Structure 1
């Protein structure tokens, strides 16, 4: 068995998990991790029995591929260095801060025939994967992703922090170009938007209503997908999917009879599946499940949502200032 030498840049909350998953995969040799925080980095290196590098550039000659789990504003700089060094990368979402940066990474990866996978973790949620065979022609999607406040991730807008997960899934489900976006959002606990809603309307008439919040007292990650003859409830957090199929036979009320199928995946590990998929694509030199282009597509819509919310907020402020 040929061993794949890998590394991890960034060993915060999520980066630590990346390192642990790599260390547990038999066909992978976790060579080292890099972090500017030497205390955190050395702790994770000790846990995973690998080397610690304070400068990620000194790690690159030792490895074939790596995960990049650094703050979003650093994605472009770090990922570009790694691609220029000829390394396949799994880059946490969002791919970058701007579309221009995303285009730069995609071009660099294509030029050097490298794997660029974007870490949209929910694609590997077993409930999401279980629903895919039951999808036909979705006409309406209702998505709610609310979370308690955590300081990590608050360096970016809630749309890039949370909503982009659902945007990515919806764009993968609805096979039609996006036509219009209607939004509302507000900052509450930070200087950026903390709660937001976006209504995405596609050219084929399908509509998705997406709500996110990072200032809730509870956590909930659910999506409902309605299509002719059936609808699907997906509970991301509990890894559970319910498929409700409507029959031609009617109940006394006139409502079609329902066939309900529930699938639960309590033992599923989305991050391990994501990393195993990355390793598989490296060895096969095949296209990742979430490529750089798909990461860019989700970022494009997310940035449109953010810009529209900002325009609404500026207009509201302008009207307030004009009042006597």
Structure 2
């Protein structure tokens, strides 16, 4: 099968990741790096062997697909132009700043018959692979995504920059309509919210508590999931998962702690509880490059005409919930907050 002629639009950090990987993958032929900043595009092009161009229009007739890694505020205009011209697109998250704009892109992609994929890269995390079926049918989800201030993605706040990852993940896990959103947040360094806590309640009874901060002294990318069958802790940074699974006797309601001898209680308290009653296990998947897997999924979707793992509709739905979170923050009295977004 012939390699897909592809360009990367945006020569920043994420664009660099995509370009360096696409240049090495046999599924792609990296044609160009497009960026208005000459020094940025030239530097990345020299590393990858691609042609540096100031505007993607210079190579429009030579590409089949593009990765869009530009500032969020520019996503709609760039992606819409590509889709309308029949180009397949992988756009970094969030797909657009608003759900209305995202919906228009989904319609354009459907009309053109091309692939529209959104870069919610955590869906390709080895930590999710390690967790396996233990995440199915969640009753409660808690996520924490915190980092220091990177001075990137300053055109959006912590909801669209960080929390959007976990919104997408919980939507994919809960598989139910969000019926209620509560949120609060603070703008610390100005312009947009930097710290956010949100609670999503789903029609099927699942509840998700999400925390995001880009002004934290701790780097955390974790999620805990409780189901009727046990507990799972996922660490996206390490790619590992920990499960705690009750024995069949516990699930049948046959465990009676009050009937145990003092000796047996002491034994369980000392550590046997998580070996014999609530069985704890550590799981690790092979180390992988999640962005590489994302690109390979993009290639598969293009070549087979099937949906990517995270299609435009999924990206649209995540932004729709993000907007509800932002509105909930804005409704909180006394919260220092500035809610901005562009169409």
Q: TM-score range by the shorter chain?
A: over 0.9
Deviation at 1:257, TM superposition (A): 0.8
Tell whether the 8 Å contact from 2:130 to 2:285 is kept in structure 1 after alignment: no
SS in 2 for 1:14: helix
**1:98 matched to 2:98:** yes
SS in 2 for 1:316: coil
- For residue 291 of structure 1, the aligned residue among 305, 311, 325 is 311
2 CA distance for matches of 1:209 and 1:137?
16
SS in 1 for 2:172: helix
SS in 1 for 2:277: strand
2 CA distance for matches of 1:203 and 1:27?
41
**1:170 matched to 2:170:** yes
SS in 1 for 2:137: coil
Deviation at 1:191, TM superposition (A): 1.7
Deviation at 1:266, TM superposition (A): 6.1
The residue aligned with 2:261 is none
The residue aligned with 1:322 is none
Unpaired stretches in structure 2, ≥5 consecutive residues: 258-263, 337-343
The residue aligned with 2:27 is 27
- For residue 282 of structure 1, the aligned residue among 290, 294, 302 is 302
Q: May I ask how many residue pairs the two structures share in their alignment?
A: 316
Deviations 1:130-175 (A, max 9, x none): 3242233211111111101111012201000000100000000002
1:192-271 map, 5 Å: 192-247=192-247, 248=249, 250=255, 252-253=264-265, 257-265=277-285, 267-271=287-291
Deviations 1:182-233 (A, max 9, x none): 1110100122100000011111211111111000112001000001121110
In structure 2, do the counterparts of structure 1 residues 285 and 171 end up closer, same or farther at CA, with 3 Å as the change threshold? same
The residue aligned with 1:128 is 128
The residue aligned with 2:71 is 71
2 CA distance for matches of 1:149 and 1:205?
35
2 CA distance for matches of 1:180 and 1:125?
28
Moved over 6 A (4+): none
SS in 1 for 2:138: coil
Deviation at 1:289, TM superposition (A): 0.5
The residue aligned with 2:148 is 148
1 CA distance for matches of 2:238 and 2:44?
28
The residue aligned with 2:260 is none
Deviation at 1:259, TM superposition (A): 2.3
The residue aligned with 1:85 is 85
Deviates more, 1:241-250 or 1:288-297: 241-250
Deviation at 1:317, TM superposition (A): 6.9
The residue aligned with 1:311 is 331
1 CA distance for matches of 2:69 and 2:113?
22
2 CA distance for matches of 1:179 and 1:23?
44
SS in 2 for 1:200: strand
Deviations 1:82-126 (A, max 9, x none): 111110000111010112211111111000111000100100111
1:11-26 map, 5 Å: 11-26=11-26
The residue aligned with 1:321 is none
User: With structure 1 as the length reference, what TM-score do the two structures score?
Assistant: 0.94
2 CA distance for matches of 1:237 and 1:268?
12
Deviation at 1:28, TM superposition (A): 1.4
RMSD: 1.6
